[in-house]
Amino acid sequence: MPSPNAPSRPRAVLAAVELPDSNERETEGSLDELHRLVETLGYRPVARVTQKRRALGAAGLFGRGKLVELARHTGGTGVVPAGVTRRPGKKTIHPWEEGEDDETDDEVDDAEAGEEAEEADGSEAAAPVPPEERASVVVVDHELTPRQLRNLEGATSAEVLDRTAVILGIFQRHARTREAKLQVEIARLAYLAPRLRVAGRGDRQRGGIGGKGAGESASELERRRVRDRIAELRHELEGVRRDADTRRRRRIERRSVAIVGYTNAGKSSLMRRLTGSDVLVQDKLFATLDTTVRALWPETRPRILVSDTVGFIKKLPHDLVASFRSTLQEASDAGLLLHVVDASDPVFRGQLEVTREVLGEVGAGERPTLLVLNKTDRIDAPTRAALREEFPDAFLGSAFDPDDVARLHDRIVRFFERDMVDGELFVPYRDAGFLHTIHESCRVLEEVHEEEGTRVRVRAPREEIDRLAARL
């Protein structure tokens, strides 16, 4: 039970537009996911507002009736505080009718028809929320243009965050290593650059003959500073990545498994059980941003390395995918991908496709993959039977069941041993120290000490045996 003196979390209203190519169930599922994202960021969602529209291009994103409904939760007016805009040869267009890219007249008419229906429902006449219960933040389940962001803030008198801003905020909070912090900062600045003017920094012209930035507006000067800062961060990131790439190349020669999947599917919990390590485990979205590499436990010979990777999510910002491409390289270099899915989530099939799409973007779409349907302890027997029939090659189990983890361990080992062969190496006594390398790289079946050295019978991949023989 929370302490009576603990500060209450800021309230947030969730908002979304339902497009023609989506349906109500998909919109609700996306809002459920946004709900978890917002909670992870530290807000308390208190209401949801949705509207069906043909496109996301309107400058206010929502119709007038929905803007009033949003404002009812935040204490705003529900009206975009701007003058009317007149386009040459066109009728007078109000701010909520004008898109970032000009809408067609048909789209404006459709929007107005929907707004009139809302007004008929009496949404504008609903009583406002008491001041002590008002939300201070509006979170929109889409990426907003700078104009939409400005207009929504004006209409609601509240801070407005889009889905990208929420994800960036979570990433920034959870980044631990220098590489992750640099990657998140680059993505954050790339997102911020076109929105600087919206932040209210003013737009005065800078003077000075021959001076750097002469004739630039304040926002233009700030954007250039952001671009320069991004260039500096990318240069620094390249140095960090070179070190990481060196370590990764050393691991390529070894057998490795990369755990991939949708955020909060249970990847870190599974990593912890498979490796006996103290990897961070939290019931939060994007709790893991930094790649962690551990040896499979109980250890095998040769060792199998297991890496945990950043989770994926629908509408993951492209700048974040690009920034984390180096981290996700673990997946494209791995000998086996464990694609972990939360089987208890009713929308896991959509999450499965999102992960496959991102893996394809980073060049890991063709890697050998074992689908792991996790959290089966949360579903009933008939559902498990149906999943076995639908996914006959998948592994069903729970990261919290020791027997399931042991079965998965054995399946991983069998995967890497399927191409192993028996071979023989002779190590002269003058090279006796090389025996340690053989034990690290192969499974030693037998050692026989002869007059001039040790004859070792091993089981390992053919290329590994040939590589060791070449060094003797």
DSSP string across 57-125: -BTTSS-HHHHHHHHHHHT--SS--S--EE-TTS-EE-GGG-BSSPPPHHHHHHHHHHHHHHHHHTGGG
Is the domain of 240 the same as that of 380? no
Say how many Å lie between the first and final Cα of the chain, rounded.
66
Tell me the angle at which helices 24-41 and 163-174 cross, rounded to the nearest 10 degrees.
40
Q: 402 and 283 in one domain?
A: yes
In a domain, 241, yes or no: yes
Contact indicator for 59, 147 with CB cutoff of 8 Å: yes
Residues 441 and 335 in one domain: no
pLDDT of residue 369 exceeding 60: yes
Residue 192 placed within a domain: yes
Domain of 31 in residue numbering reads as 11-168
Which residue shows structure tokens 């002869």? 450
242-273 pLDDT per residue, tens: 776 666 565 555 688 999 999 889 988 899 89
What is the CA 75 to chain-centroid distance, rounded? 33
CATH code where residue 132 lies: 3.40.50.11060
In this structure, are 359 and 413 located in the same domain?
yes
Q: Residue 170: its pLDDT value, please?
A: 86
Structure tokens at 261: 């999947």
Q: Does 302 sit behind a cis peptide bond, omega within 30 degrees of 0 on the bond before it?
A: yes
User: Do residue 42 and residue 189 come from a single domain?
Assistant: no
How far apart CA 107 and CA 119 sit, in angstroms, is 19
Average pLDDT across the chain, whole number: 80
What type of residue is 306? V
> How many folded domains does the chain comprise?
4
Residue the block writes with tokens 């304040």? 218
**pLDDT of the residue at 3:** 46
**DSSP H helices in 210-284:** 218-252, 267-275
- 354 shares its domain with 390: yes
276 in the same domain as 332 = yes
Q: Who wins on pLDDT, 179 or 35?
A: 35
* Residue 208: inside a domain: no
- Contact between residue 128 and residue 68 where contact means Cβ atoms under 8 Å apart: no
- Tell me the C-alpha to C-alpha distance, in Å, between residue 367 and each of 291, 322, 332, 336: 18, 20, 7, 7
Parallel, antiparallel or unpaired: strands 255-261 and 369-374: unpaired
Longest dimension (CA), the chain: 101
Q: Are residues 188 and 276 in the same domain?
A: no
Instruction: Supply the pLDDT for residue 325.
Output: 64
What is the distance between the alpha carbons of residues 341 and 355, in angstroms, rounded to a whole number? 10
Q: Please indicate, yes or no, if residue 385 is contained in any of the structural domains.
A: yes
- Domain membership flag for residue 4: no
- CATH number of the domain encompassing residue 309: 3.40.50.300
% of the chain residues with pLDDT over 70: 77
In a domain, 76, yes or no: yes
Closest residue by Cα to residue 221 from 257, 197, 244, 241: 197
What residues have CB less than 8 Å from 151, skipping those under 6 apart? 59, 60, 61, 80, 82, 95, 96
387 plus 350 within the same structural domain:
yes
pTM for this prediction: 0.73
What's the pLDDT tens digit per position in 48-93?
A: 999 999 988 788 899 999 999 999 999 999 998 755 343 334 333 3
Any domain includes 2: no
Residue 207 belongs to some domain of the structure: no
Q: Are residues 149 and 86 in the same domain?
A: yes
Q: Which of 417, 440, 458 is a domain's end point?
A: 417
Do 284 and 412 sit in the same domain of this protein?
A: yes
Q: Please tell me whether residues 129 and 262 are part of one structural domain.
A: no
